Structure 1
């Protein structure tokens, strides 16, 4: 039922996107803000307590509903899985933004491409050229395809029922919400949230990197992963971007314009500089990777039925 749950959730999300900030997500973020106001005393152990209070009740409720429905009918349990996947995935969330920027660059509308990238990244991109916009868009596409599609699939396969997708999404949201505290000091309130997401994302990030390598240029992807990923600021993101860049044969990283000027980053990948053509190659890589995962799950389903 894992494969059918994913396919149905993907089709449902294509028909009616839930968005990265659907009502359930917004409700949880409000809950997280309330916990932060109550628990944040600048001490790490209070951050640990807040994270547990935020995540564990939701996991218990999600698992309880699943097993209750499954005991009534496996079909109801399957439907609950589809609902959870629909709420935690976000293929259209990043694919629509990616496609809009690609179309703007193809039409030569640099102002529109800058505006779309600014809305997606959340920071100004008024001085970015077409090559820089293409490079940043590819990076965002690779990272978001991992966080909103492939990591959810992996967690759904690894953990029972809908617990994996819920745990991953909640951990990612809390890490993002409390990141400013995590950057201050190891004893800060949000430090545990960042570390917890790092641990939870360890297997999904490497699984996505492997699948990018299989779906693209395997040799270059593995080389870039081994030689370049460790130099990136966020190691998990570095693994995904290095593998994706190697699989595509494109160079990512390097300088990035921020509101206060240039922000220099390590270079990732091999081959040519990013341009508009590589945007379409990125779309192809993401779709091939998705098909790869669905085929793998199909083989697992067939093996299960045969057993």
Structure 2
């Protein structure tokens, strides 16, 4: 029951306050990560090409450890120090979890795209979608904007909300802190380009490991909640048949199940850094439109309600038994 109280408090803080506009801890962590990357992401001229790549992977492991290890230990120490006081433990857990999730921010970013898209203001919608996706957005049409935004909402529902909740439930304050820092490093270093291909390997793989179970729980949640609009079979089949075709082992199940749950087709052609990429098709149904973005937000909200209901049921049953 304590976990449910903490999570409810954190969600309430996020709902009413949103992300801190100033002095967010992740901003400071990002500066630390930038400093570590500039210091360690260099090749030593004494090594062969193959050994340079291996050296960069080793430096990436070191950077990951230096970035996460001390802060993770501080989070563990904080939790242990406050453990004797139920009140302080609850308050600290709620504040840390609030800083680690992005529920309201996700919905706000989505609305900033869907509203101008409904009004036919493609220029504003392109600007808004450029804030949450890495693809080229300058020439996107209405359907392409809706596709990009819907994909982002579904995927970030797992990354920004459910994975953070999962790791808080499993490992408390240090669990959610380590997860959020890992996810941030993956966003900063996890690119397959010449600069980060080897150096960012450790951060990307560590984030994959931490997201493996939460991503599948999110896909399951999307599939269960699809029953509200009669798309359960669609979501399940999309998950099982299409998830493995996606380049990301964790985004694939989440996006496939989510696309099937709201009855749209995602994937297809997209431009990244001036180059066209043909991506596998996910989901089944109609091409996305502005309403699909709102449907994706509703699916995330219903899935969150499902998690809270399950947690409440488990708490009640554990007390009864």
TM-score scaled to structure 2, two decimals? Answer: 0.89
Please point out which of 284, 288, 291 is paired with 1:270.
Answer: 284
Shift of 1:249: 1.4
- State how 1:22-41 maps to structure 2 within 5 Å: 23-41=24-42
Tell me the distance in 1 between the aligned counterparts of 2:270 and 2:197: 30
Alignment-derived partner of residue 199 in structure 2: 189
For the Cα contact (< 8 Å) 1:3–1:297, is it kept in 2?
A: yes
For the Cα contact (< 8 Å) 1:158–1:164, is it kept in 2?
A: yes
Please point out which of 209, 214, 217 is paired with 2:224.
Answer: 214
Deviating above 6 A after TM superposition, structure 1's stretches of 4 or more consecutive aligned residues are: none
Alignment-derived partner of residue 186 in structure 2: 175
Q: Which moved more, 1:281-290 or 1:74-83?
A: 281-290
Please point out which of 53, 59, 74 is paired with 1:46.
Answer: 59
Shift of 1:7: 1.1
Could you report, residue by residue, the CA deviation over 1:142-181 in whole angstroms, capped at 9, with x for unpaired residues?
Answer: 111111111111111122x21221111111111222224x
For the Cα contact (< 8 Å) 1:22–1:87, is it kept in 2?
A: no
Q: Which moved more, 1:207-216 or 1:40-49?
A: 40-49
For the Cα contact (< 8 Å) 2:133–2:148, is it kept in 1?
A: no
Tell me the distance in 1 between the aligned counterparts of 2:59 and 2:209: 19
Alignment-derived partner of residue 150 in structure 1: 162
Residue 141 of structure 1 pairs with residue 153 of structure 2: yes
Tell me the distance in 1 between the aligned counterparts of 2:151 and 2:115: 17
For the Cα contact (< 8 Å) 1:250–1:272, is it kept in 2?
A: yes
Q: Which moved more, 1:49-58 or 1:81-90?
A: 49-58
Q: Which moved more, 1:93-102 or 1:17-26?
A: 17-26
Cα RMSD after superposing both structures: 2.0
Tell me the distance in 2 between the aligned counterparts of 1:274 and 1:77: 44
- State how 1:1-307 maps to structure 2 within 5 Å: 1-18=2-19, 23-42=24-43, 43=55, 44-71=57-84, 73-159=85-171, 161-180=172-191, 183-184=193-194, 188-216=198-226, 217-307=231-321
Helix, strand or coil: the match of 2:83?
A: helix
Helix, strand or coil: the match of 2:137?
A: coil
Shift of 1:305: 2.6
Unaligned runs of 5+ in 1: none
For the Cα contact (< 8 Å) 2:134–2:272, is it kept in 1?
A: no
Shift of 1:218: 2.5
TM-score scaled to structure 1, two decimals? Answer: 0.92
Relative to structure 1, is the Cα distance of residues 265 and 22 closer, same or farther in structure 2, using a 3 angstrom cutoff? farther
Tell me the distance in 2 between the aligned counterparts of 1:22 and 1:215: 36
Tell me the distance in 2 between the aligned counterparts of 1:84 and 1:74: 15
Unaligned runs of 5+ in 2: 44-54
For the Cα contact (< 8 Å) 1:70–1:78, is it kept in 2?
A: no
For the Cα contact (< 8 Å) 2:110–2:294, is it kept in 1?
A: no
For the Cα contact (< 8 Å) 1:48–1:192, is it kept in 2?
A: yes
Relative to structure 1, is the Cα distance of residues 41 and 114 closer, same or farther in structure 2, using a 3 angstrom cutoff? closer
Relative to structure 1, is the Cα distance of residues 38 and 110 closer, same or farther in structure 2, using a 3 angstrom cutoff? closer
Tell me the distance in 2 between the aligned counterparts of 1:187 and 1:105: 36
Instruction: Kindly tell me the number of residue pairs found equivalent between the two proteins.
Output: 304
Shift of 1:23: 2.5
